[in-house]
Chain A
Amino acid sequence: MPNDERIDCVDISFRYGKEFVFDSFSHSFQSGITLIKGYSGCGKSTLLKLIAGYLSPQKGRVLLPQPWQKPSEKFQREGLGFVFQQLNLLPLANLTGNLNLVASLAGISRTVTKERSSDLLGKLGLSELSKKKPGSLSGGQQQRAAIARALIKHPKVLLLDEPTSGLDDDNTKVIKQLLCTSLPQNCFCILSSHDHRLEDIADEIIDFNLRLPVERHLQEVV
């Protein structure tokens, strides 16, 4: 039974082609910040996509907090904020446009959107760039804008896939600070990253390296 307290991955199996990424994986995520770390290709991003409903498990299920119960378009519109590793922003809309579009899909009023938008862009140091198109922003600015876009609807579930990869310390600090101070109440924030700089803000850390068979560990080390 889904409940308000956690996100449950129940007996999930998923594979790309013949190779299993998850084979009967189960875990319960509590609200707060969870960091999933592990080597490249261990399934961190895949797990986030499974929770978001962007991929469907071949076996098992994802149980979401009320009122969504399972991943759906409505959940993606209203309850989910997702930051991909790259290509996060719509290229033909400026930053405000990107934020407005997602907020309007979530059914948030124009006034509230305006307030939240100016608050988030201010906290992320993007106020001056609100009328700029993504193409004219740096990688760090784009990543921060993507986080603002994910947060504008005050999502119940916030999934961030490598949010600080390739970012300098200053950019990482801004993002960390935002996550510590601006997450909605009882939000499930799951980060997938191998960036150690994020470990100190996590309430829970899941190390996917521990799922590795010994031979794969050796291969990784080599």
Chain B
Amino acid sequence: MRSLILIFVYLSKDIFKRWFETPGAVFARVLIAISLCLLFLFMQAGFVLTEKAVEKKIESFGLNTMILRSTKMSKTEIRPSLDQLLSSLSEVGTYLPFSSLYVNAQLSNEKRVKVIIYNDHSIPGLNSLMGWDGMQESVFLAAYGYPEAMKERVKVSKVFFDAEVVKPPRIMRFISLNDPLLFIPESMAHGFERFSVQESVLFLSDDSVDLMAIIESTEALLKNEGFDRYELTSPVKWVGELDGIREVRKNAQAIGGGFVGLLIVLIFGSIAVFEYRQNIFATALFKSFGLHTIHLMARYWIEGLVLLFISFFGAVQFAQVFHRMVFKLAGFEVELLDLAIFNPYQISENFFLLSLLGVASLVAILPICIALRKPVGKVLG
């Protein structure tokens, strides 16, 4: 035991002496390891933020929502409209068929807004979404930030309407994020046919209904009816997307981790070999005393391990400090991840990286293990 302590003290002295003699070699190792760890940590946090964004999207639209869009058929095309095909959906949920013009309406403040044309079949759906008892056909502007019930004069092409401002339900964001929408009944939209339009259906299924089955049968129906240009969006599908992101995260972790490990092995390994060569006589002298080579290997392993752990903890600190800045610059919604609630930089979340560093530090000393096999008699004169 005493000999182990003396050896440990001597070898530690040796390590510190080298660090003070060649601080560049230490800084290079730490800096590279910190950068690699930071990249890895930010990559993980990026995935977490992406997952959170998708989760938020799902949450805000609700899992029971589906929106279907298709360009309206041309005069030469012969096929039913989406409304004709899917009107039976009104029996199993909130059904809102509508058309949108490719021309925008202009508000009194010159702001341009999207125009939605609704028909009789849309009214029950609008009633349900807006929380109205029984609406009359009217022009209204669904907009945030405008006083409710205010009359707003809007212009579509050359026609003026007085639209009543209403507060849009959250689900309307599915159609146009936070921008206002001008709703015009079909009966008042004559003359707008010349603007090509997109037909859409917004559907919120009842709780008892399997939306995924409806989506599948709708897609089959559309294919049958010759719809080749349509877009069907539903948060139900994003759940699968979420699983996809998690799968990609796992793969990225493995590939990124392998890349980080490989670079660390190469850099730490080559510097360790360089230092071993400088120190070869003292090492051989130790061996000549009958010291087992495992102690000498441990010296290089522990040195690498200490530097890597310092780098890891440094990277964790840096990552937390620069998290906001980095992800804001990268265009992420940083608020989605509150580090006080879930911190992807915590040590407990990064055992994979830690163990990877441990393994890399071990592999990095392989060349030294081989060099240590050289007989003492061939080193010392």
Contacts and interface: CB of A to CB of B under 8 A. Distances in A.
Interface of A: 45-46, 49-50, 52, 54-56, 73-78, 80, 82, 84-93, 97, 100-102, 104-105, 107, 110
Contact of B17 (A86, A92, A102, A104): A92
B82 interface: no
Given A73-B290, A73-B292, A91-B282, A110 B2 contact: yes
A3 B289 CA distance: 24
B290 A78 contact: yes
Given A84-B381, A85-B381, A92-B14, A101 B6 contact: yes
A55 B376 CA distance: 7
Given A92-B17, A93-B10, A101-B7, A75 B290 contact: yes
B325 interface: no
Nearest to A104: B3
A90 B288 contact: no
22 contacts: A45-B381, A50-B377, A52-B288, A52-B377, A76-B289, A76-B290, A84-B285, A84-B288, A84-B381, A85-B381, A87-B281, A90-B10, A90-B286, A91-B282, A92-B282, A93-B10, A100-B6, A104-B3, A104-B6, A105-B7, A105-B289, A107-B3
A98 to B, nearest CB: 10
A185 B2 CA distance: 27
B268 to A, nearest CB: 23
B378 interface: yes
B10 A105 contact: no
A72 to B, nearest CB: 8
Contacts of A45: 381
A180 to B, nearest CB: 25
Which of A74, A90, A100 counts the most B-chain CB atoms under 10 A from its CB? A90
Nearest to A100: B6
Contacts of A78: 290
A74 B378 CA distance: 20
Contacts of A89: 285
B375 interface: yes
Contact of B289 (A46, A55, A92, A102): A102
A50 B281 CA distance: 19
Instruction: Give me the 10 closest cross-chain CB pairs, A-B, nearest first.
Output: A77-B290, A76-B290, A54-B377, A49-B377, A55-B377, A104-B3, A54-B376, A73-B290, A105-B3, A104-B2
Contacts of B17: 92
A60 B14 CA distance: 38
Contacts of B375: 54-56
Nearest to A109: B2
A90 B6 contact: no
Interface SS of chain B: helix
Chain B: interface size category: 20 to 34
A77 B381 CA distance: 19
A75 B289 CA distance: 9
A92 to B, nearest CB: 5
A88 B2 CA distance: 22
B291 interface: yes
A186 B377 CA distance: 26
Which of A75, A102, A105, A107 counts the most B-chain CB atoms under 10 A from its CB? A105
Contacts of A77: 289-291
Contacts of B289: 76-77, 101-102, 105
B380 interface: yes
B237 interface: no
B292 A87 contact: no
B184 to A, nearest CB: 88
Contacts of B285: 84, 87-90
B288 A105 contact: no
A74 B3 contact: no
B66 to A, nearest CB: 74
A55 B291 CA distance: 16
Given A54-B375, A77-B291, A85-B381, 6 more contacts: A54-B380, A86-B381, A89-B285, A104-B3, A104-B6, A110-B2
Which of B3, B14, B375 counts the most A-chain CB atoms under 10 A from its CB? B3
B377 A105 contact: no
Contacts of B13: 92-93
A36 B380 CA distance: 19
A78 B288 CA distance: 11
B6 A80 contact: no
Which of B17, B282, B288 counts the most A-chain CB atoms under 10 A from its CB? B288
Which of A74, A77, A84 counts the most B-chain CB atoms under 10 A from its CB? A84
A78 B8 CA distance: 20
B10 A76 contact: no
Contacts of B290: 73-78, 80, 105
Nearest to A85: B381
A128 B315 CA distance: 50
A102 to B, nearest CB: 5
B381 A90 contact: no
Nearest to B286: A90
Nearest to B13: A92
Interface string B349-381: 000000000000000000000000001111011
